[in-house]
């Protein structure tokens, strides 16, 4: 696995921040936005120049989104012991990526290019979501299936599920799956127009929550078949998944949380698990009025009394198309280290639900973790991860 | 095996050829979509929901899978221009919400109150193919289910400018000249929506999609090698009535698009096939756009529907000289 977010540029750094309740929400942000310094974001500390240096990417057309993806991708294949050369000829290795902003982080360049004129910028082929996967494919010479999914904020949870299903259907032996998004003037203004950006650090599941903080980052995971695991590092098993649509509204969830309910229920069914077998939930928990109320209702409908849960977005911000993959990685770390990560900034439960997210780090015996990702357009996906059998789990 | 039961298409046809340098759709009146709903939809969403409406009336569907290369582009740039021109002032969110490519699949879901599987593939010239692959996986995972799958792309003025600046469209067109008679780089832009109702059930099907293969290469020899292997694997000698050569389809739909840089790929494919295999080109009907292969599947269904043409049909498409797809279609009825 490989990850970069506001709370660190590696697996170890992310885990350390989660364990110590160190939030990455602060007042740095994209230099070209007037909201930088005014409202908080979950920015990745590394500049584009530093990301270029880390990844060795110097192509003019590579956007920050691509650089973040390349950083996490490189860590993931390194962690899995896959060299660039071994991927080159592997038609049985898929790359399934996800992003919502893609190269739209290049807001000002795109503005100029759409104004026309004889001379286009270096970024003409960099604006779309596919530009990220195309870059990785070219750089690593990947010859297996490669695609890009965009289901808004559930994008990379769906990328994980698609990769797993390619393996289960016998179409590939291995899938590198994940997602990325970078902070962009474009999305900052979009969420601002929807009036769901919090003026201060977000407070998921709190009665006095004021909205979300946008974040940025990337996460990639290497999925392999059970029969190919001998001698390899194993973190966890992707046990179940479900993709549904809330079919309620273009940009908000139904009050009773029908989509989230069906996604969680379907993921449990697909995993063959009973509700009592989930030990922890990495909630979608954006900190908006709508999401947290809807998700809480859905959790109560399924679990009665939900298990320990928290939203790590209180530390990373909402990383949109990356959040499903980053939070899948956190869920897997929960299982691997047998520990539960808290949310930050919570103080008062929502009166209608009374639910309290975990607020302190604690070691916890965990067999199964559920990770939720819900997006605009009603796209709801839940994933279930199980601890790897003791004989398979290898130290990191 | 994925069986196609119903299809709809909104394309530049019937039309008289490119207008102002592009093949543009004449939008239908969209009967069945309330006027106030229609007014709030972006063009890409109108095309998708408009094409989906007759299909969702065919009974229960278990999910919606849409490929789109530039869905939402028009709205994205509209919003982005407001961001820049109003110096990040307080903006209305409409364009932003519609700009997300999943707006097409999710609005279809909303119009059908469909809470099933819902996904959007944005991988340029292969988005439709990955939607098809997903549909075939879903059908084998959940026997008895039916899905709406398709490709939807609009060609906005903004997108046209970016693609033109990047060299993907011809800068000058000669009136009356066929798309295939140019010897110059760039194609002619197009747009369209082609949707299919698919299941694992052969009864009553129009055709079946037997295989889909996608890959990425800039080498024409790789394309030829992969086509040869694809045909040998899926159409071994003697597997079809009257078939002489191994791997010979009865009909070949070529995505040739008038861009002379792409010709070597199409020539390499033609050289693999028996010269007697009839070739149908179609980009002069729909123009070039990322999910044009969905139009090609729709066209293939039109070709097989009225007359008993021999099967199977091979579709090859190349997008921007790097993305390739083979689709093998079998006439069914």
Which residues 6+ apart lie within 8 Å of A238 measured at CB? A160, A164, A223, A383, A384, A385
By the CB < 8 Å criterion, does A194 face chain B?
yes
Q: Lowest-confidence range among A232-241, B175-184, B242-251?
A: B242-251
Which residues in chain A have their CB less than 8 angstroms from residue B99's CB? Answer: 190
Highest mean predicted confidence (pLDDT) among B1-5, B31-35, B263-267, B301-305: B263-267
Position A23 in a domain: yes
Q: What is the pTM of this model?
A: 0.96
> Is residue A395 predicted with pLDDT exceeding 70?
no
Per-residue model confidence as pLDDT tens digits over B272-289: 999 999 999 999 999 999
Per the structure block, which two tokens stand in for A100? 């919502």
CA-to-CA dists, residue B12 to A323, B51, B169, angstroms:
39, 14, 17
**How far is the alpha carbon of A152 from chain B, nearest alpha carbon, in Å?**
7
Helix, coil or strand: residue A133: helix
Of B69, B93, B133, the CB nearest to A193: B93
pLDDT for the residue numbered B331: 77
Whole-angstrom Cα distance, residue A243 to residue B119?
Answer: 8
Per-residue model confidence as pLDDT tens digits over B266-276: 999 999 999 99
pLDDT for the residue numbered B113: 94
Per-residue model confidence as pLDDT tens digits over B73-97: 889 989 999 999 999 998 999 999 9
pLDDT bracket for residue B240 (50, 70, 90):
low
By the CB < 8 Å criterion, does B64 face chain A?
yes
> Is residue A223 predicted with pLDDT exceeding 80?
yes
DSSP assignment of B275-292 equals TTS-EEE-HHHH-B-TTH
Range of the domain at A95: 2-387
> Is residue B308 predicted with pLDDT exceeding 70?
no
pLDDT bracket for residue A61 (50, 70, 90):
confident
Residue of B45, B62, B83, B140 for testing the chain A interface, max A β-carbons within 10 Å: B83
pLDDT bracket for residue A392 (50, 70, 90):
confident
Per the structure block, which two tokens stand in for A338? 């047998």
Q: How many domains does chain A have?
A: 1
DSSP assignment of A175-195 equals EEEEEEE---HHHHHHHHHTT
Distance of CA A209 to the CA centre of its chain: 21
Position A246 in a domain: yes
pLDDT bracket for residue B311 (50, 70, 90):
confident
Which residues in chain A have their CB less than 8 angstroms from residue B2's CB? Answer: none
- Which pairing describes strands A339-340 and B323-331: parallel, antiparallel, or unpaired? unpaired
> Is residue A252 predicted with pLDDT exceeding 90?
yes
pLDDT bracket for residue A75 (50, 70, 90):
very high
Which residues in chain A have their CB less than 8 angstroms from residue B319's CB? Answer: none
pLDDT bracket for residue A118 (50, 70, 90):
low
By the CB < 8 Å criterion, does B216 face chain A?
yes
Tell me whether residues B92 and A104 touch, CB distance under 8 A.
no
Given the residues A153, A202, A242, A380, select the one marked as catalytic. Answer: A153
Whole-angstrom Cα distance, residue A335 to residue A368?
Answer: 7
Q: What is the mean pLDDT of residues B39-43?
A: 91
Q: Lowest-confidence range among B24-38, B128-142, B248-262, B302-316?
A: B302-316
Tell me whether residues A247 and B115 touch, CB distance under 8 A.
yes
Bond from prior residue into A335 cis (ω within 30 degrees of 0): no
Per-residue model confidence as pLDDT tens digits over B314-323: 999 999 999 9
3-state secondary structure A312-373: CHHHHCECHHHHHHHHHHHHHHHHHHCEECCCCCCCCECCCCCCCCCCCCEECCCCEEEEEE
Per-residue model confidence as pLDDT tens digits over A313-352: 999 999 999 999 999 999 999 999 999 999 999 999 999 9
Q: Which residues 75-104 on chain A approach chain B with CB closer than 8 angstroms?
A: 91, 100, 104
pLDDT for the residue numbered B223: 97
Which residues in chain A have their CB less than 8 angstroms from residue B115's CB? Answer: 244-247, 258-259, 262
pLDDT for the residue numbered A126: 83
**How far is the alpha carbon of B122 from chain A, nearest alpha carbon, in Å?**
6
Tell me whether residues A243 and B133 touch, CB distance under 8 A.
no
> Is residue B307 predicted with pLDDT exceeding 70?
no
Distance of CA B243 to the CA centre of its chain: 29
Position A396 in a domain: no
Q: Which residues pair with B192 in a beta bridge?
A: B153
Per-residue model confidence as pLDDT tens digits over A25-38: 999 999 999 999 99
pLDDT for the residue numbered B137: 98
> Is residue A303 predicted with pLDDT exceeding 60?
yes
By the CB < 8 Å criterion, does A151 face chain B?
yes
> Is residue A139 predicted with pLDDT exceeding 60?
yes
pLDDT for the residue numbered B248: 84
pLDDT for the residue numbered A120: 79
Q: Which CATH number fits the domain that encloses residue A35?
A: 3.40.47.10
Q: What is the mean pLDDT of residues B179-203?
A: 97
Q: Rounded mean pLDDT of chain B?
A: 92
**How far is the alpha carbon of B307 from chain A, nearest alpha carbon, in Å?**
34
pLDDT for the residue numbered B133: 98
**How far is the alpha carbon of A377 from chain B, nearest alpha carbon, in Å?**
5
Question: Domain locations in chain B?
Answer: 2-199, 207-331
pLDDT for the residue numbered A104: 81
Pick the CATH number of B207-331 from 1.10.10.10, 3.30.360.10, 3.40.50.2300, 3.40.47.10: 3.40.47.10
Do B231 and B274 touch, CB atoms closer than 8 A?
no
Nearest-CA neighbor of B296 among B3, B2, B11? Answer: B11
pLDDT for the residue numbered A394: 62
- Decide if A202 is catalytic: no
> Is residue B175 predicted with pLDDT exceeding 80?
yes
CA torsion angle B121 B124 B128 B129 (round to 10): -100
pLDDT for the residue numbered A321: 97
Chain A residue with Cα closest to B112:
A247
pLDDT bracket for residue B301 (50, 70, 90):
very high
**How far is the alpha carbon of B106 from chain A, nearest alpha carbon, in Å?**
5
Tell me whether residues B165 and A119 touch, CB distance under 8 A.
yes
Position A183 in a domain: yes
> Is residue B163 predicted with pLDDT exceeding 80?
yes
Position A356 in a domain: yes
**How far is the alpha carbon of A87 from chain B, nearest alpha carbon, in Å?**
14
Tell me whether residues A378 and B83 touch, CB distance under 8 A.
no
Position A62 in a domain: yes
Which residues in chain A have their CB less than 8 angstroms from residue B137's CB? Answer: 165-166, 169, 171
Position A392 in a domain: no
Of A104, A113, A245, the CB nearest to B118: A245
By the CB < 8 Å criterion, does B124 face chain A?
yes
Residue of B21, B37, B52, B80 for testing the chain A interface, max A β-carbons within 10 Å: B80
pLDDT for the residue numbered B67: 98
Per the structure block, which two tokens stand in for A302? 């399924």
Tell me whether residues B123 and A193 touch, CB distance under 8 A.
no
Which residues in chain B have their CB less than 8 angstroms from residue A129's CB? Answer: 101, 122-123
Which residues in chain A have their CB less than 8 angstroms from residue B79's CB? Answer: 186, 189-190
**How far is the alpha carbon of A363 from chain B, nearest alpha carbon, in Å?**
36
pLDDT bracket for residue A389 (50, 70, 90):
confident
Q: Rounded mean pLDDT of chain A?
A: 94
By the CB < 8 Å criterion, does A246 face chain B?
yes
Whole-angstrom Cα distance, residue A154 to residue B33?
Answer: 28
Do A29 and A47 touch, CB atoms closer than 8 A?
no
- Decide if A20 is catalytic: no
Tell me whether residues B83 and A142 touch, CB distance under 8 A.
no
Whole-angstrom Cα distance, residue B113 to residue A329?
Answer: 33
Q: What is the mean pLDDT of residues B190-217?
A: 95
Helix, coil or strand: residue B296: helix
ipTM over 0.90? The verdict is yes
Helix, coil or strand: residue B80: helix
> Is residue A391 predicted with pLDDT exceeding 80?
no
Q: Which fold has domain B2-199?
A: Peroxisomal Thiolase; Chain A, domain 1 (3.40.47)
- Decide if A54 is catalytic: no
Of A193, A258, A379, the CB nearest to B106: A379
Tell me whether residues B83 and A35 touch, CB distance under 8 A.
no
Whole-angstrom Cα distance, residue A94 to residue A149?
Answer: 13
pLDDT for the residue numbered B262: 98
Of B93, B103, B123, the CB nearest to A190: B93
DSSP assignment of A223-282 equals EE-GGG-TTS---EEEEEEEEEE--S-SSS--TT-HHHHHHHHHHHHHHT--GGG--EEE
Sign of CA dihedral B77, B78, B81, B87: negative
Position A198 in a domain: yes
Given the residues A202, A242, A284, A380, select the one marked as catalytic. Answer: A284
DSSP assignment of A40-88 equals -BB--SS-HHHHHHHHT---TT--HHHHHHHHHHHHHHHHTT--HHHHH
Looking at per-residue pLDDT, the higher value among A394 and B39 belongs to B39
pLDDT for the residue numbered A12: 98
């Amino acid at each position: 696995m490989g990850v970069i977010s506001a709370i660190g540029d590696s697996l170890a750094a992310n885990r350390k921040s989660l364990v110590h309740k160190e939030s990455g929400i602060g007042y740095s942000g994209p230099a070209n936005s007037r909201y930088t310094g005014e409202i908080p974001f979950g920015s990745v500390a590394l500049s584009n120049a530093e990301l270029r240096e880390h990844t060795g990417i110097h192509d003019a057309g590579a956007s920050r989104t691509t650089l973040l993806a390349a950083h996490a991708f490189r860590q993931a294949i390194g962690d899995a012991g896959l060299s660039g050369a071994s991927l080159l000829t592997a038609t049985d290795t898929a790359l399934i990526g996800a992003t919502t902003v893609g190269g739209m982080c290049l807001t000002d360049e795109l503005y100029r290019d759409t104004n026309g004129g004889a001379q286009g910028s270096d970024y003409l082929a960099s604006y779309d979501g596919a530009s990220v996967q195309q870059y990785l494919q070219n750089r690593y010479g990947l010859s297996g299936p490669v695609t890009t999914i965009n289901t808004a904020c559930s994008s990379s949870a769906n990328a994980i599920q698609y990769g797993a299903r390619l393996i289960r259907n016998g179409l590939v032996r291995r899938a590198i799956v994940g997602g990325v998004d970078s902070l962009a003037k474009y999305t900052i203004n979009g969420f601002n127009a929807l009036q769901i950006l919090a003026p201060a650090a977000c407070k998921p599941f709190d009665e006095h929550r004021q909205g979300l903080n946008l974040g940025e980052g990337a996460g990639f995971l290497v999925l392999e078949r059970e029969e190919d695991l001998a001698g390899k590092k194993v973190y966890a098993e992707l046990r179940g998944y479900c993709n549904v649509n809330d079919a309620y509204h273009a940009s908000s969830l139904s009050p009773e949380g029908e989509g989230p309910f069906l996604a969680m229920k379907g993921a449990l069914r697909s995993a063959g698990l009973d509700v009592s077998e989930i030990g922890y939930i990495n909630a979608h928990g954006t900190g908006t009025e709508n999401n947290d109320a809807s998700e809480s209702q859905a959790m109560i409908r399924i679990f009665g009394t939900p298990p320990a849960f928290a939203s790590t977005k209180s530390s990373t911000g909402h990383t949109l198309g990356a959040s499903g993959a980053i939070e899948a990685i956190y869920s897997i770390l929960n299982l691997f280290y047998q520990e539960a990560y808290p949310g930050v900034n919570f103080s008062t439960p929502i009166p209608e639900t009374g639910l309290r997210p975990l607020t302190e780090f604690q070691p916890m015996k965990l067999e199964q973790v559920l990770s939720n990702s819900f997006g605009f357009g009603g796209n709801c996906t839940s994933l279930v991860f199980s601890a790897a059998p003791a004989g398979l789990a290898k130290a990191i | 095996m994925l069986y196609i039961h119903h299809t709809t298409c909104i394309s530049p046809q019937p039309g008289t050829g490119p207008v102002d340098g592009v093949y543009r759709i004449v939008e239908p009146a969209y009967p069945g979509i309330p006027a106030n709903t229609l007014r709030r939809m972006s063009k890409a969403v109108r095309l998708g929901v408009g094409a989906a409406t007759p299909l969702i009336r065919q009974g229960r569907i278990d999910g919606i899978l849409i490929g789109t290369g530039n869905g939402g582009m028009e709205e994205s740039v509209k919003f982005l221009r407001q961001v820049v021109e109003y110096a990040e002032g307080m903006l209305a969110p409409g364009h932003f919400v519609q700009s997300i490519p999943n707006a097409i699949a999710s609005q279809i879901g909303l119009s059908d109150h469909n809470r099933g599987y819902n996904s959007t593939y944005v991988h340029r010239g292969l988005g439709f193919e990955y939607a098809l692959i997903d549909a075939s996986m879903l059908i084998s995972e959940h026997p008895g289910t039916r899905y709406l799958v398709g490709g939807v792309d609009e060609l906005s003025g903004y997108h046209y400018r970016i693609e033109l600046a990047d060299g993907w469209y011809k800068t000058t067109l000669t009136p009356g000249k066929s798309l295939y008679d140019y010897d110059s780089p760039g194609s002619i832009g197009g747009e369209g929506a082609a949707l299919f109702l698919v299941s694992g059930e052969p009864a009553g099907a129009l055709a079946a999609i037997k295989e889909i293969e996608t890959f990425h290469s800039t080498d024409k020899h790789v394309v030829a090698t992969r086509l040869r292997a694809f045909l040998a694997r899926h159409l071994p000698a003697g597997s079809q009535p009257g078939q002489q050569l191994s791997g010979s389809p009865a009909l070949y739909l070529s995505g040739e698009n008038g861009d002379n840089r792409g010709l070597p790929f199409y020539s390499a494919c033609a050289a693999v096939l028996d010269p007697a295999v009839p070739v149908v080109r179609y980009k002069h009907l729909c123009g070039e756009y990322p999910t044009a292969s969905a139009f090609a599947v729709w066209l293939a269904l039109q070709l097989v529907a009225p007359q008993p043409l021999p099967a199977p049909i091979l579709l090859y498409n190349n997008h921007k000289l790097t993305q390739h797809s083979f689709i093998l279609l079998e006439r069914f009825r």
